[in-house]
Structure 1
């Protein structure tokens, strides 16, 4: 650039700075260097009769700058000046129109192109297709494309990008197939859109074929295609393949690092995810969201909350994805105060309170025992899905609001929501809490008969709990023996606990035998049997149970307490 400035100075001293031909090189350099656009305008304004080349240079420079609208204005000025427009004029101004979605201006320029006969030029037609595609007018884009006498890879890419941008992913894949039939070799731009389309459509076999296409055809894997491949491998859980792409990339950006954090976090490798996060020179919202979600989904709830506090210190405003992850952590830790603070934060900062945020708030309040607030959130939701209904029914049931839980279930059915297995879990828990034996059995029987929902282990466990709470231990045992699936330790432990309450020593011994087979190291089994014998004054048998614990080296699990102090959750273990 220093050489150009010296050349410009020499022309000025010689009085030749108004000569359009001598100044063309100077103006071109200034125009295509954004910091020097002001100089380009000054030079252009000093030339009394700018040539088509100079007009094109200014339009091109402005189209690539932060002022693309000025490129359009320069084009109109060029027309008014009467300067000849050529095939190099239109691609630049159409690019400017595309950047600002000025489809009206684009259509007027399209009319000029038709009048001047430049539509047959592949570069001009490509620019038009790109404009229409970017502005969402795929009808005009496809019509232009179909009428082109000659197409190159840019023509195909422009239309494929347009379909992808409008989420018409299958149409983009069909276009790629047609592209191959015409023998056009795809490039890195094509493959970014096609691999991404396969990923979002979960067309894994086709995605694998596209990866092979990239390898077999030597398609350059630049930073954009590399990021796309990492995202694809990450969604599939192919961590090693993602690492291979990551390590081979010559350049990386924040998108690359975020993609790897997400890949590691999804695979449960939080150590590697955190290493990349900690080494990032800069972080954006996606960086924080990815790592916080990873810790929350990996059941590392305290760490997720710690990261959220660091995010606040970094002055990064959370979005609904971060909010959902943090609320989930609060729900599991019982951090009600922090959960309430986040709820208020959502209100104060106008964070989009979509159905996912609403469901997370319901779950958080319900698990923290604040069912009134959970029900208020549920009532204020403008949109609900099956998870919304399930969360509030489960919350009401677990907090002892039996009648309300069953009432909400009836409202759900009237609202034409089809209950799921989780819905019935909440309903059966409600019935068990209140000892509604007949109602509970009717709901259980309706699962398969009326709603075609296959009961799972938890549903069978609820029925056993319901029968045991009602004192129907013999019926509970009969129900267990007739179950189509093998009962788990929780079911037998429920029976053992009921035997202690009702003094059924014989059934307690059967349940204990099953528990010794399924979960022999659980101290709770021995404690329940000991208490059952003790309650029946069979102290010799009770002592044998205590001795058996020692012989089998079974130890009682220490108690654990979680205390929330100033939005920090402290965990302490009993000695």
Structure 2
């Protein structure tokens, strides 16, 4: 195993249609280096999901249950996969499919047959952890001393070893993480190991059997484990950061090596013995399971297998359906079949009535059915014996006596098994006036490769010279190479050269490049060895496509230094590197944070294209360098290029985050004037920028503008504007937009309701907040189990000094949020008794459970700490309040100011007044009373008068205590009369 890992890593989701065109092989994707988009354009449409019941409308041919008779069935493993980026910015998933384990680990007598290995790795925070795990996890398993005798222990140990090895890899980003789900087939045993929220589901005669558990922080067992190790769960996230409770990597959360962490890399393992009822296995990341139940997935796969018997098609169907259902994540799906045959039809017992029929009627019915059976059999399973009848039936009413070549090719592809496809191919050759061609042979070979019938493929190659009069063409060999690549039979791919030499003196460069393209996806070292020993040794030096493939492999493995050496080698051979080669290297540099070096490399390019600018603009935006991003944007305009919508959106985002929304609007208008296309995500970014600087009405103007230009707003557009109007105190405009959503056919979601309720309650319109809460509860969206809208109601009541109503509402919430309410009541009781330490322990426990306290809890704790003299803890609690969008009311921060003043920390108190005022909190008379009293008591009359003037300038009237403090201090001064005249002038 070169490179420290299995040479059969990540698969490809390329469509089978790619194999069916006769064009020049697309060895080097022209989109290499093109940065993927980081926003999803939300759309409104109805899912075309298939119900689980719809797959059961077929009569059943039953097999005995494993409980009735022990199965002696033999496993035949074949797999299919599909992986899509979906709406996310980057593709962070990895996967591995090895149907024949011997090809990776060598012949071992201690491993039962058949043996296979499959894995899905859902990365987050970058792809480094997922890629590392994919390449090394099998190596750690098979090299463990306990494999395969004690496979469960070996697998658990391998997961931990892989996690630690990733920690020690300095070249990778160890803050990235990944879930890991693997399946190991050894004989009739199957082991599933899972760490994270990917899932393995077994299809058992149409029933879904979940073989893994989703490791979510809120899961009871995971929550108890996390709490025991000192972790916290905040709003469903581990330590407020991660949505899974188990993962490899994420060392910024796990801390130092060797320390115990609530984020575990140890998997949960399930081992089963398979029976004849077990039909297939589905493995997928959470992007699939977030929008689809396990039973629905099993039903869909079973139906597709019965129709097409192709696991790759099944995987693609699941991915397409998840995208149709608006999944918000990357998608990776593996389907592993346990037999070459499609699943049997399931027998559904049906009640029926006995009906009588005459003997003559029965004979007539039998005759009709026999004729129909002959026709159907001939159409579905044509054989040489049925050819005359079929030919008569099919062609007697047609002017042409032979089907077209395209018709025959399509019929071959439509067959459910390789044997049926081959039988149809043989039958077609007996039709008069029809002759097979390279194209029909290629179609059959593609179908056979799908079912891994490679021995039959070799036989077809041998018969082609006699049958067609010409040897197999390049496209035939390319189809075989790609079929082997999809089967992850990497070592066998190289042997295709021997087949090509059998029919040609020297295989074409197209064949060499096709093999090289498969190898770089699996192992770059193997690909380089193939180039040196097979291509160069044969006198084939390659072309720009060849070097583009090698560059792609080097950059995918972050071997940037070797990539530069390859670039120099290309130039030294007199070959002009094309733009794709440069862009591949540029993208690798930017991905690794070396944007400056990428900019220097760009200066060497004679003809940069739009992809070049997209890569560099995105790289500078990732660094936060808006200056260079704008410079390159202007340069692309001057050269006649318009960056794609992803790059433009990133520029808008970096400008808006810096409060430069006006410049962002200029960029948007410039792009549109040059014919560039913008989507709803770009407009949403700009609108959010204007709302962030308080120019909500300008954002509303862009909403109208995007509608005029045919770009329809989505729910996020309205939510951003509603939030902006609420924060600016323009509630009526926010409610107008809320009503406009219904008129425009856009459904309110939880964020919409939560934003409006918080805005209404913050501005004292609590009754309207109650009405909106009722509307939310009546809607399908509901509260979705989130407590924040209810906390907003409590906030509104408390702010209006309706303390008893707030406490009563908290009690009524117990039916919906029993744990949070119990903790809140406990904290309030402790605070009343003065047991502030007990209250704090209950508060910490509430936070650990993922609860969000209300203003009642925060206010009681802040008062308790301030009265006790623990002002620092009180300030920390106020910061947590603000982080949870619960702004302190005057009584809350006044308690902290009083606490500072009691300790004589007047400067800290004054600083706090400035901070809360800057955050939008409005002080009152009670805010300034302790400040002026302490300053006067210290004899600092000048400072006291300055604070007094600030208070009066804000329109806050002094109370009796302030006057007493000032007059007492003034009476002790020498210039009493002069000071009184000064106060009189102020008044």
TM-score, normalized by the shorter chain, greater than 0.5: yes
Instruction: Select the residue among 113, 123, 130 that pairs with 2:567.
Output: 113
Secondary structure of the 1:202 match is coil
Find the counterpart in structure 1 of residue 757 from structure 2.
Answer: 295
Contact residue 432 and residue 440 of structure 1 kept, 8 A: no
Structure 1 CA distance for aligned equivalents of residues 848 and 743 of structure 2: 30
Contact residue 295 and residue 304 of structure 1 kept, 8 A: yes
Find the counterpart in structure 1 of residue 622 from structure 2.
Answer: 165
Find the counterpart in structure 2 of residue 429 from structure 1.
Answer: 926
Q: In angstroms, what is the RMSD of aligned CA positions? A: 5.8
Find the counterpart in structure 2 of residue 265 from structure 1.
Answer: 723
Q: Which structure dedicates a bigger proportion of its chain to strand?
A: 2
Secondary structure of the 1:48 match is helix
- Give unmatched runs, 5+ long, in structure 1: 64-68, 352-356, 485-575
Find the counterpart in structure 2 of residue 566 from structure 1.
Answer: none
Contact residue 231 and residue 263 of structure 1 kept, 8 A: yes
Contact residue 172 and residue 194 of structure 1 kept, 8 A: yes
Pair 1:116–1:95, CA change in 2 (3 A): closer
Compute the displacement of 1:137 (Å). Answer: 1.5
Contact residue 649 and residue 682 of structure 2 kept, 8 A: yes
Report 1:381-420 matches (<5 A).
395=891, 398=894, 404-407=899-902, 410=905, 413=908, 419-420=914-915
Pair 1:19–1:333, CA change in 2 (3 A): farther
Pair 1:41–1:276, CA change in 2 (3 A): farther
Contact residue 264 and residue 273 of structure 1 kept, 8 A: yes
TM-score normalised by the chain length of structure 1: 0.57
Find the counterpart in structure 2 of residue 499 from structure 1.
Answer: none
Comparing 86-95 with 118-127, greater Cα deviation is found at 86-95
Structure 2 CA distance for aligned equivalents of residues 333 and 39 of structure 1: 64
Instruction: Select the residue among 593, 605, 608 that pairs with 1:136.
Output: 593
Contact residue 130 and residue 158 of structure 1 kept, 8 A: yes
Compute the displacement of 1:150 (Å). Answer: 2.9
Contact residue 396 and residue 402 of structure 1 kept, 8 A: no
Contact residue 659 and residue 689 of structure 2 kept, 8 A: no
Report 1:313-352 matches (<5 A).
330-334=794-798, 335=806, 347-348=847-848
Secondary structure of the 2:589 match is helix
Compute the displacement of 1:160 (Å). Answer: 0.9
- Give unmatched runs, 5+ long, in structure 2: 1-16, 21-408, 414-439, 446-456, 465-470, 501-507, 536-540, 726-730, 799-805, 814-819, 825-842, 971-979
TM-score normalised by the chain length of structure 2: 0.36
Q: Which structure dedicates a bigger proportion of its chain to helix?
A: 1
Structure 2 CA distance for aligned equivalents of residues 259 and 107 of structure 1: 44
Pair 1:275–1:371, CA change in 2 (3 A): farther
Comparing 166-175 with 52-61, greater Cα deviation is found at 52-61
Compute the displacement of 1:142 (Å). Answer: 1.9
Pair 1:297–1:250, CA change in 2 (3 A): closer
Contact residue 753 and residue 776 of structure 2 kept, 8 A: no
Deviations 1:478-516 (A, max 9, x none): 9997458xxxxxxxxxxxxxxxxxxxxxxxxxxxxxxxx
Compute the displacement of 1:173 (Å). Answer: 1.6
Find the counterpart in structure 2 of residue 491 from structure 1.
Answer: none
Secondary structure of the 1:149 match is coil
Pair 1:128–1:290, CA change in 2 (3 A): farther
Compute the displacement of 1:371 (Å). Answer: 2.1
Structure 1 CA distance for aligned equivalents of residues 655 and 515 of structure 2: 40
Find the counterpart in structure 1 of residue 873 from structure 2.
Answer: 379
Pair 1:402–1:127, CA change in 2 (3 A): closer
Contact residue 935 and residue 944 of structure 2 kept, 8 A: no
Structure 2 CA distance for aligned equivalents of residues 416 and 437 of structure 1: 15
Report 1:33-182 matches (<5 A).
37-38=486-487, 44=493, 47-48=496-497, 53=510, 70=522, 72=524, 75-76=527-528, 78-79=530-531, 82-83=534-535, 86-89=543-546, 102-103=557-558, 105-117=559-571, 120-181=577-638
Find the counterpart in structure 1 of residue 461 from structure 2.
Answer: 15
Structure with more contact order per residue of length (Cα contacts < 8 Å, sep ≥ 6): 2
Pair 1:82–1:407, CA change in 2 (3 A): farther
Contact residue 617 and residue 632 of structure 2 kept, 8 A: yes
Contact residue 490 and residue 522 of structure 2 kept, 8 A: no
Structure 2 CA distance for aligned equivalents of residues 377 and 96 of structure 1: 59
Compute the displacement of 1:291 (Å). Answer: 4.7
Find the counterpart in structure 2 of residue 196 from structure 1.
Answer: 653
Deviations 1:276-314 (A, max 9, x none): 59999999xxx6456523431343655787799999998
Instruction: Select the residue among 642, 658, 677 that pairs with 1:220.
Output: 677
Compute the displacement of 1:176 (Å). Answer: 2.1
Structure 1 CA distance for aligned equivalents of residues 774 and 638 of structure 2: 54
